[in-house]
Structure 1
Amino acid sequence: MTISFYGFKSDLSLMGMLTKSQIMEILNDWNYWKKDFNEYHRRPKYQSKIELFRDSGEIIVLTGIRRSGKSTLLKMEMESLSEIVERKCLLYVNFEDLRLSNAQNDDLLSLIFTVYRENINPEGEVYLFLDEVQNVSGWEKWVYTLHELNKAKIYVTGSSSKMLSGEIATALSGRHLCIEIYPLTFLEYISFKGVVCTDLPDYTSQKIEINRLFNEYLEFGGFPKIANMKAELKHEDLISYFNTILIKDIVGRHGFDYSKLETLTYYLLSNDTKQNNINSISKALGFNYATVESYVNALKEVYMLFDIRNYNYSLKKQIKSDNKFYSVDTGFVNAVSFKFSDNVGRLYENVVFNELKRRGKEIFFLNDSGCECDFIIKERDEIKGAFQVCYSLNNSNQQREINGLIAACKKFGINRGYIITESRSELMNLKGLEIEVVPITEFLLCRDL
């Protein structure tokens, strides 16, 4: 049986025998045509950007690690739109729904759109929200066609950075704007906890509570649901997130060996912030080089891990340099690698990396002729910032940290460098440079670099 509606065809023989009635039931369960929106914690920066993109006329794409809040942002956008259009104009489809799992191809998209048009909104404008759409074979060409025919204003989400690369990006023909969604920043985290910090006076007056919350954030990370969960449940949920990402987002898509993938991921999380390369990892684990390379790339694709390279003016040398790996969330590091108290300094470094990443910085490390600096920041073609990160600055490490920072600043002509620590606050003038020592919570909440 073939259904044709608004120029689209659906062959029900390919649909796992989903009927119109079944599709309608699924849509009713997820949509807000006759029910109220749930209350969610706001994420103003993302919401403002989505609203800005709304008027562009392009497909809006949200990508990011599973459980980072993409679906919630879609629903908050729907709630915002409901103030200016009728609710029947909003169509949300969740492709994580198991009832759709046996029929995920572009015919399913056509059937859903047909059922919606026939029963809910025959003629009005449509705002279409496709959640975790990468599960649907052929989605990109279907979405592009719908967009080009001006049949709907479209939002899509997915848990893979590869959603918009290669053939998919070509299929969308540049008709999209992308926003990467991450777990909560520390500023968002304290907002979820009811603490308002907009300036330095707010920070100084609430420092005790802020520091307490930072210890929570450092240990359990910033996944939105985890933030407001009872402490005794957080570890188990983080393990569940971790396993789901490996099994569903990597093994399910690529057919990798789960045991090897798990071993590799544990190894990388246990050695995050350290210099490494594919060859040394393959030797350490006894895995084939190609296997390690493909598994590492998959972990990066699903936003589990990020890496940065040793900066070099020669791009060729830079590409061949060692990497340093960072977890998208310190909660994963603590859940599967080492005890929280074993190496707080590494967790500090990971948190600072994530903050710089979420502020859109291009990040490198520097290890050159004895000059070691944790992070240097490139803007356009110039190095604009240098940062060292350590839990405490004391007699055993102070000279090393300061010398590395001074060398980096001198190398790139930077007038000020930063050392981020637990609580020390100080401004040093050394060798014609300003070295500012900043408490990590102040850096995260009050410094707009």
Structure 2
Amino acid sequence: MKQPELIARQRYLDRALLFRDTDLIKVITGVRRCGKSSLLAMVRDTIESEGDEKRSFVSLNLESGSCQISTQRELYNYFRDRLSPEGKTYIFLDEPQRIEGWQIAVNAMRVDFDCDIYLTGSNAFLLSSELSTYLSGRYVEVKMLPLAMREYLDFCGISFGNSSAALAPNGEIMLFDDLLERYLKFGGMPAIASLSTTQEVHSTYMSSLYDAVVTRDILNHERLQGLSKVTDALLLSRIVDFLSDNVGNQLSMKSIADTLTSAGTKTTNKTVDSYVTALNDAYLFYRASRFDLHGKEILRTNPKQYIVDLGLRAYLGGYRTSDMGRLFENAVYLQLLFQGWRVHVGKLYSSEVDFIAIKDGRVVYIQVTDEMISEGTRQRELKPLKTLRDAHEKIVVVRQGRYEADIDGIRIVTAKDFFLENW
């Protein structure tokens, strides 16, 4: 399959370059194949284009079959032997966790070399344990996701202005709503973000992605680290299916364990918790905690889980077309993360606000709905927001239909405006 050309993902590029030429190591994290290696290449191209001949650039992908490095000392020596004799050396290191003690080598490079270090990781364990032990306070994280809707359109060569229609590269007229529906089905993995991607191509790619994440990033990691919490491939697969089928639903480890046990896969709350944590650490699912709007505190119970890519959910679910409302909610959640918001689920007594989004002192209460055509649906979506008496912004994001822009101080935002960031 032909790989897409390197298209700048400017938001992530800006974040990666924000701490350029500082002592801080830049760590790009995210699910496998979301574009981390491409971002490293973009960072390198950007700095290299400045034309300073005194600089040196060294890249290494430790997952490449041509890489013969197997120890932390060899890793250190590889970069030491390629340092610039006159200026700064820029180091780009892909997936270093394969090397035992890699973090010791990286810290030594930071201390010993005149360098600027960028690295990638496909598992949160990289930061939670291995890296933080040696580099506490010495790194910044760039959290990367598959393509957001605007990025997806860029990869497809389509740009919308004020109109809801645009021309595709082949001259075909495309409607935003149709492209959003395609995005909700096929997701945003960069390698297959194309108008020519078929379901067969998508399914084949997603199968290999799933195997890579589950086998390499979870089961093999546990084995290599000598851990024993996540070892059952069948149980892990069934938990993935359960979480995927229940995106946007409140969950407890007990409810998952009870459901699986009743279906013939006996397990316990504690085991399920370990497996779900592993899936979160591999960035396959994201946990959205609930926030008590009355008590002003984050609740530990009944969080929601959202899948990292809707194309993966479609693949796991056999490409069924139901549950469009929850797919749309999942997409809104991912868009908020992409824009840099901290996101919680709001709880107010017996009702719920889909999302509380917080960024730079700004708080927005958000309801998400597929449509508000009937009066009953409209009242159901507006009621939780009307109950809130504070002065924070309140919006409803709607996928289908056109509505008045403001209802009793609550802004109604179309899917196009929301995903193209015109709100």
TM-score, scaled relative to structure 1? 0.82
TM-superposed CA distance for 1:337, in Å, is 2.3
Match of 1:441 in 2: 416
In the alignment, does 2:75 pair up with 1:109?
A: yes
Match of 2:58 in 1: 91
Q: Which one of the candidate residues 197, 209, 212 is aligned to 2:175?
A: 209
2-side partners of 1:192 and 1:63: how far apart? 21
State how 1:185-334 maps to structure 2 within 5 Å: 185-197=148-160, 201=162, 208-228=174-194, 230-231=197-198, 232-255=200-223, 256-286=231-261, 287-312=267-292, 318-334=298-314
1:444 corresponds to which letter in structure 2?
A: F
Conserved? CA contact 2:385–2:394, under 8 Å? no
CA separation of 1:110 and 1:239: change in aligned 2, threshold 3 A: same
1-side partners of 2:212 and 2:129: how far apart? 26
CA separation of 1:77 and 1:167: change in aligned 2, threshold 3 A: closer
Q: How large is the Cα RMSD of the aligned pairs?
A: 2.6
Long gaps (5+) in structure 2: 168-172, 224-230, 262-266
Conserved? CA contact 2:164–2:175, under 8 Å? no
State how 1:60-79 maps to structure 2 within 5 Å: 60-79=26-45
Cα displacement string for residues 17-51 of structure 1 (whole angstroms, at most 9, x for unaligned residues): xxxxxxxxxxxxxxxxxxxxx95111111122223
Conserved? CA contact 2:158–2:166, under 8 Å? no
Conserved? CA contact 1:425–1:436, under 8 Å? no
1-side partners of 2:413 and 2:66: how far apart? 52
Conserved? CA contact 2:371–2:400, under 8 Å? yes
TM-superposed CA distance for 1:357, in Å, is 1.3
CA separation of 1:313 and 1:445: change in aligned 2, threshold 3 A: closer
Match of 1:359 in 2: 339
2-side partners of 1:77 and 1:417: how far apart? 36
State how 1:356-395 maps to structure 2 within 5 Å: 356-379=336-359, 384-395=363-374
Match of 1:52 in 2: 18
Conserved? CA contact 2:293–2:346, under 8 Å? no
2-side partners of 1:428 and 1:173: how far apart? 47
CA separation of 1:315 and 1:137: change in aligned 2, threshold 3 A: farther
CA separation of 1:379 and 1:151: change in aligned 2, threshold 3 A: closer
SS in 2 for 1:299: helix
1-side partners of 2:253 and 2:16: how far apart? 37
1:384 corresponds to which letter in structure 2?
A: V
- Structure 1, 344-353 or 232-241: larger mean CA deviation: 232-241
2:277 corresponds to which letter in structure 1?
A: N
Identity %: 29
Match of 1:3 in 2: none
TM-superposed CA distance for 1:56, in Å, is 2.5
Long gaps (5+) in structure 1: 1-37
1-side partners of 2:318 and 2:206: how far apart? 14
Cα displacement string for residues 101-150 of structure 1 (whole angstroms, at most 9, x for unaligned residues): 7x533033034235546xxx666542111101122211112111111113
SS in 2 for 1:310: strand
CA separation of 1:315 and 1:87: change in aligned 2, threshold 3 A: farther
Equivalences, count: 399
1-side partners of 2:237 and 2:406: how far apart? 45
1-side partners of 2:294 and 2:396: how far apart? 26
- Structure 1, 83-92 or 222-231: larger mean CA deviation: 83-92
1-side partners of 2:294 and 2:348: how far apart? 13
TM-superposed CA distance for 1:260, in Å, is 0.8
2-side partners of 1:42 and 1:267: how far apart? 35
Cα displacement string for residues 368-387 of structure 1 (whole angstroms, at most 9, x for unaligned residues): 3332221122357x782111
Conserved? CA contact 2:372–2:398, under 8 Å? no
Conserved? CA contact 1:220–1:235, under 8 Å? no
CA separation of 1:318 and 1:173: change in aligned 2, threshold 3 A: closer
TM-score, scaled relative to structure 2? 0.86
2:338 corresponds to which letter in structure 1?
A: R
**Could you say which structure has the larger radius of gyration?**
1
Conserved? CA contact 2:27–2:118, under 8 Å? yes
